[in-house]
Amino acid sequence: MDLGLRDAIVMVTGGARGIGASIVEMCAREGALPVIVDRDEAAVAAFEQQLRETGLKSEAVITDLTDHAASHKALAKKADELGRIDALVNNAGFNDGVSLEHGTAQNFMSSLFLNLTHCFAVTKTASPYLIASKGAVVNIGSKVAITGQGGTSGYAAAKGALISLTSQWAHELDKHSVRVNIVIPAEVLTPQYRSWLNKTPDPEQTQRRIASKIPLGHRLTSSDEIASTVLFLISPRNRRSGQEIHVDGGYVHLDRGLS
């Protein structure tokens, strides 16, 4: 299926690794020009080299998204150089484990700043370009916002707020024909997730235990499955906005006791 993304300019935050990298690579394979937005210059350079070796093109913006003024300047400069932005994927985030039991109010606010505030700031920067192109925004959420998870109040609150912002931005941007949706993954086998597994006493047993609770196929979700959904949502084939799309093998909504 041709998604109609050829030559589209797609900005992906946290685009050098994991889900973000899968989105970038899939965009490039569809003929779009992905812009990797990441603070890790070495990771970006290595990933871009990997893309070039397979004949794929990309652009990059090296910036720390928590520095909103610097990020605004860098992203606007790149958008002006390229002439437009057709889609924005707010993917950057990190489960920093700020808990009710051990965290402080300051830790909690820092977690919101790390995982939520930059989504507003980047979308604010991109919105004039998206309005001009009648483009799309896809936010990457987390099942933690729906199901909860031990010891992660800050991250859960940030991802819950991102669901709310998706609805709000879809409403605000509807008059400009800009679509805003959110993809909500669960148990995705990214390098970050693998790192967490490796800290458990028996990583393989832990993975099997988690996979056994996923109704469809009893397996973890792949980054490519998230990327495929994102690409459809940013493509002109999708005309829906304000939607919450769970890509999780039924983890959140199917009765795991019956699987």
Q: Look at residues 30, 4, 31, 27 and name the one whose alpha carbon lies nearest to residue 15.
A: 27
Q: Which residues of 128-149 are buried (b: 16+ CB within 10 A; e: fewer)?
A: ebbeebebbbbbbbbbbbbeee
Are 180 and 173 in contact, with CB atoms under 8 Å apart?
A: yes
The distance from CA 15 to its chain's CA centroid, rounded to whole angstroms, is 9
The residue assigned the tokens 């990059």 is 60
Beta-bridge partners for 38:
62
3-state secondary structure of 199: coil
Q: Please give the order of strands across the beta sheet that includes 244-247.
A: 59-62, 33-38, 9-13, 87-90, 136-140, 179-185, 244-247
The values of phi and psi at residue 9, to 5°, are: -95, 115
CB 159 within 8 A of CB 115: yes
Active site residues: 155
